Each structure stands twice: as structure tokens, then as C-alpha cells.
Amino acid sequence: MDALKLVQMANQIATFFESDPDPAAVHDGIAGHIRRFWDPRMRRALLQHIDEQAGEGCRPAVLAAIAANRENLTPAR
């Protein structure tokens, strides 16, 4: 998986949800979309990028959404 492409996709998702004035709704919306529509390999690769590259390139809302919902986004091995 190309981490930079996944970051770009996550940022596009964040841009959509950031119009909501409630930060919790923004984070839940981003995380919910990623959980529902991204396959486990994609989620693993994004989480690895965040862990190893400090989330370089990710919008703050993406990083906050991942931090708040990491357990639900981490695929079972």
C-alpha cells in the first residue's frame, strides 16, 4: 500500500467531515468512514505510517480521529 496515497485519501475524507462544528462528530465521521470502507491492509498501512512517520502529511483531524478511535480501526491479525 502506498502510504502517501492513503494519507491523501484520509485527508479528503477529513475535508468532508470538517464542515461539522462538533469536533467529536468530525473524528467519529472520519474514523467511521475508514472503518467501514477501507480494507484491513489499508487501515494497517495508514496506522503504520502514523506510527513510523508521525503521520506526516495527515491533516490534524485525521490524526485526532485515529487517536480517538484507534482500537476500532486496528484490524485483527
CA distance 48 to 51: 5
Spell 52-77 as b/e; 16+ CB within 10 A means b. Answer: eeebeebbebbbbbbebbeeebeeee
User: Which residues neighbour 29 within 8 Å (Cβ) at sequence distance 6 or greater?
Assistant: 13, 16, 17, 20, 65
Q: Where are the domains of the chain?
A: 3-73
Among 59, 36, 56, which residue's Cα sits nearest to residue 48? 56
Tens-place pLDDT, residues 9-52: 999 999 999 999 999 999 999 999 999 999 999 999 999 999 99
| pTM for this prediction | 0.94
Residue 1, pLDDT score: 78
Contact between residue 49 and residue 3 where contact means Cβ atoms under 8 Å apart: yes
